[in-house]
Amino acid sequence: MMTQSITQPNLTIPPLENGDKLTRYEFETRYEKMPHLKKAELIEGIVYMGSPLRIEQHGNPHANIITWLGTYESLTFGVQSGDNCTVILDSENEPQPDALLRIKKGGQSIINEQGYVEGAPELIAEIAASSVSIDLHDKLKAYRRNGVQEYLVWRVYDNQFDWFRLREGKYIPLDPNETGIIKSEIYPGLWLDVKALLEGNLGRVLEVLQQGIKTPEHQGFNTNSL
């Protein structure tokens, strides 16, 4: 007697590809099966995968931003900085921002059971190529919609730095004051000398940050964060 062969369904999980349109669940399932992959993001339901990065155009600017935020964290109670960590925002957005700064207790985000940031950090920073980058289009929309309060974009090729503040559902650019310094409205004492940053003068950047750290506003924030 002949028996019919039963064809087993193909359960192979396909790899992530640039441009895939996926749900967050599909994205996470595929990402977990690619441990060799260093960076992939889901932005507005579309997969974006990292490409090789040059030191002058990304690596060094990234390091300077991390140094600035890490120094602030070291001198400020109740905040946590992050470098290239996954952030779960909503069903269509799971970015991996270059840098973030979050309030640990009573802030907008939590650390979930898997160890990922869930919810919108108060501040996110991205190193972008230019004004045509996704960072100033789809990412900006996703961060704005999910309530990231301050969004910083360093446009390396344009030699420009954008600092956006969320007000009434819109991102409003914060301009440097008469001394060239931008002051965070969320994190007291988080001051940035934009010209020094763009010129690669990290010493001056940290000097100005120390000035902000010494203000009564920062001391009050430190006390309230205990």
Report all structural domains of the chain as residue ranges with CATH numbers, in order of start.
55-221 (3.90.1570.10)
pLDDT value of position 11: 56
Give the integer Cα–Cα distance in Å for 161 and 31.
Answer: 31
Give the integer Cα–Cα distance in Å for 190 and 210.
Answer: 9
pLDDT value of position 12: 80
Mean pLDDT by 10 residues, the chain (226 residues): 46 83 92 88 91 90 98 97 97 96 96 97 93 89 98 96 97 96 98 98 98 96 78
Which three-class secondary structure state does DSSP give residue 146?
helix
Which three-class secondary structure state does DSSP give residue 197?
helix
pLDDT value of position 37: 86
Q: Which two tokens stand for residue 129?
A: 């190529």
Q: What is the pTM of this model?
A: 0.89
Which three-class secondary structure state does DSSP give residue 179?
coil
Contacts of 183 (CB under 8 A, 6+ apart): 174, 177, 190, 191, 192, 212
